[in-house]
Amino acid sequence: MIIKTRFPPSPTGYLHIGSLRTALYNYLFAKKYGGIFLLRIEDTDRERYVEGAVESLIQTLDRVGLICDEGPVLVNGVLSEKGDYGPYTQSNRLDTYQKYAHQLLEQGSAYRCFCSKERLEKLRSDQQLAKLPTKYDRACLRLDSTEVQHRLNNNEPFVIRLLIPEGETTFKDEIRGMITIQNSEIDDQILLKTDGFPTYHLAVVVDDHLMGVTHIIRGEEWISSVPKHVLLYHVLNFPLPSFAHLPLILNPDKSKLSKRQGDVAVEDYLKKGYLPEALINFVALLGFNPSGDREIYTVKELIESFDLTRVNKSGAVFDITKLNWMNKQYIRSLEPKRLMDLAEPFFNEELDFSFEQKERILAVEKERLTTLQDLSQQTSVYSAIPLFEKNLLVWKKADEQDALHHLKNIEQILQDADEKFFMDQLLIEEILKKYIEINHYQNGNVLWPLRVALSGQAQSAGPFELVWVLGKSESIKRIQQAIQKIIS
Ligand code: GLU
């Protein structure tokens, strides 16, 4: 059997962090078993439709590396599809859902309901007042065939409802085990709406079956829908797939992760300079831990170790401190070319650095970045030195004259050095350290004023790194300015 998982988002305009985890777990599971990861667009709720949302969703999935094997894709920015089971967008499959809804009508597993919105609302509020479960009262099930025909002839709008049989429904959840629900608790679900659009329940069951989905892995909020789906599979005579429902993602106060307590859109995290690699690693561990205390995993390692039976049942807390820590680790260890590709858009364009300078700045500054967005403030020092007080040039165990002495000597060393020297950070370090060692100076006496002269800051990258990034003439210029500060 070929394993096929699916990620079927509704295009609402952004990818929720929880949906990213769902997509990722489906991806990991499919890849682990050499299976297929399918993407489907569930856009039957026209009120929630957002223009351009499908394109942006696919782009976000691409950016984090969750590329589907089947489903909608963007080719040069234009929406198209790959795979043999399309169309993969539900609004293009309406006739299929209608066919199945009518089949269910004919076989007596579903019925037409002509009740108006007003009647249903009144029924609901009466039931709520009487503290009864809110359910359709099956008024239309009691209509005889002549009455139904009469209403059809009058073109009265109707929905098609699933007739829930008596008894109970049992299914197995791969994470939670066996679950049994009394059918009396299940409402006669609307399958097809008056406008001919299916509800989520009909569309999802029909599509998952026709598209050959073997494993349905999704958020816990859908678990209450499964009994209806199981009954639908049964009356449609479709074999049941496996189900697995993932725990909720929680805010630190244990409430459900929501916009109110921070960002929930993956796009926002990317915009802020979180790396796709870090986001994927972080999200993978929201509910699953491959082993012990280890936190950093490549996607390949996640695929190898992914195991549905080891997904937690209880909610996973979204801890931004951990994400920040993880992002730092990835910024430090990512292959330089990939890091540069990701970081380039975050350099402040006005500062007009050359590509080579950007490479050096990134190499030097990456140790201090939490997100790539920090680059824009942290790098302004390389284009212009900030104003600073001359006292800052004086190391705590020294005085102005001492600082002046060393700045003058180093200026001379740099003046005498040829351009090649400035290409090699280690050489810069070696020569400046030699100056310290030969003369038996303390590091602080020399390196503190030099670093401040170059950066104008109490805290910054080290002096050798600064010389390397700034180059010969800018380094000398800044040292001369510092000397002027002291003597004037
Ligand atoms: N379209 C649903 C959503 O937006 C999919 C639910 C499911 O996976 O069955 O999340």
Neighbours of 385 (CB within 10 A): 20
Helix (H) or strand (E) holding 402: helix 400-416
300 annotated ligand-binding residue: no
CA 203 to centroid of ligand 1, rounded, Å: 11
Residue 261: pLDDT band with limits 50, 70, 90: low
Nearest to 144 by CA among 184, 112, 170, 120: 112
The predicted model gives 156-181 an average pLDDT of 97
Provide the mean pLDDT of the chain. 95
Classify burial at 440, counting beta carbons within 10 Å of its beta carbon; exposed 0-12, middle 13-18, buried 19 or more.
exposed
Statement: residue 379 has pLDDT above 90: no
| Residue 48 or residue 194, greater confidence | 194
Whose C-alpha lies nearest to ligand 1, atom 2? 9
The C-alpha angle with vertex 355 and arms to 353 and 360, in degrees rounded to 5, equals 85
Place of tokens 């399309």: 86
> Which atom from ligand 1 is nearest to the alpha carbon of 12?
4
**Is residue 157 helix, strand or coil?**
coil
Place of tokens 């019925």: 111
Residue 135 φ then ψ, to 5°:
-150, 155
The predicted model gives 238-259 an average pLDDT of 91
Whole-angstrom distance, CA of residue 313 vs CA of residue 20: 18
Place of tokens 């401040």: 452
Whole-angstrom distance, CA of residue 318 vs CA of residue 341: 28
The predicted model gives 193-222 an average pLDDT of 97
Whole-angstrom distance, CA of residue 369 vs CA of residue 346: 12
Residue whose CB lies within 8 A of the most ligand 1 atoms, among 39, 49, 204, for a mutation test? 204
Contact 11, 41 (CB under 8 A): yes
Per residue in 83-105, pLDDT (tens digit) is 999 999 999 999 999 999 999 99
Contact 291, 305 (CB under 8 A): yes
Statement: residue 176 has pLDDT above 90: yes
Residue 16: pLDDT band with limits 50, 70, 90: very high
Tell me, what's the pLDDT at 260?
A: 66
Looking at the DSSP assignment, which residues form a beta bridge with residue 102? Answer: none
- Burial pattern 47-62, b for ≥16 Cβ within 10 A else e, equals eeeeeebbebbbebbe
Pocket of ligand 1 (CB under 6 A): 8-10, 42, 204, 218, 222
Statement: residue 13 has pLDDT above 90: no
**Is residue 244 helix, strand or coil?**
strand
Hey, what's the torsion of the CAs at 285, 288, 292, 297, to 10 degrees? -40
Residue 215: pLDDT band with limits 50, 70, 90: very high
Tell me, what's the pLDDT at 294?
A: 92
Whole-angstrom distance, CA of residue 335 vs CA of residue 375: 18
Residue whose CB lies within 8 A of the most ligand 1 atoms, among 218, 226, 243, 246, for a mutation test? 218
CA 42 to centroid of ligand 1, rounded, Å: 7
What are the chain's domains? 4-90+249-317 (3.40.50.620), 93-246 (3.40.50.620), 334-382 (no CATH), 390-487 (1.10.10.350)
Quick one: the chain helix, strand, coil %, rounded to 5?
55, 15, 35
Tell me, what's the pLDDT at 297?
A: 96
The predicted model gives 354-368 an average pLDDT of 93
Whose C-alpha lies nearest to ligand 1, atom 8? 218
Tell me, what's the pLDDT at 51?
A: 86
In the set 172, 259, 313, 477, the catalytic residue is 259
Contact 267, 56 (CB under 8 A): yes
| Beta-sheet pairing, 242-246 with 215-219 | parallel
The predicted model gives 290-297 an average pLDDT of 89
The predicted model gives 306-329 an average pLDDT of 95
CA 391 to centroid of ligand 1, rounded, Å: 62
Please tell me the number of Cα atoms within 13 Å of 247 on its side-chain side.
Answer: 24
> Which atom from ligand 1 is nearest to the alpha carbon of 218?
8
Per residue in 101-146, pLDDT (tens digit) is 999 999 999 999 999 999 999 999 999 999 999 999 999 999 999 9
Whole-angstrom distance, CA of residue 102 vs CA of residue 110: 8
CA 207 to centroid of ligand 1, rounded, Å: 12
The predicted model gives 255-261 an average pLDDT of 76
Active site residue 259: yes
Whole-angstrom distance, CA of residue 307 vs CA of residue 315: 17
Residue 461: pLDDT band with limits 50, 70, 90: very high
Contact 453, 478 (CB under 8 A): yes
Residue 72 φ then ψ, to 5°:
-70, 140
HEC string for 92-151: HCHHHHHHHHHHHHHCCCEEEECCCHHHHHHHHHHHHHCCCCCCCCCHHHHCCHHHHHHH
Contact 39, 59 (CB under 8 A): no
C-alpha distances (whole Å) from 404 to each of 341, 354, 408, 484, 485 are 41, 32, 6, 9, 10
CA 221 to centroid of ligand 1, rounded, Å: 10
Whose C-alpha lies nearest to ligand 1, atom 6? 8
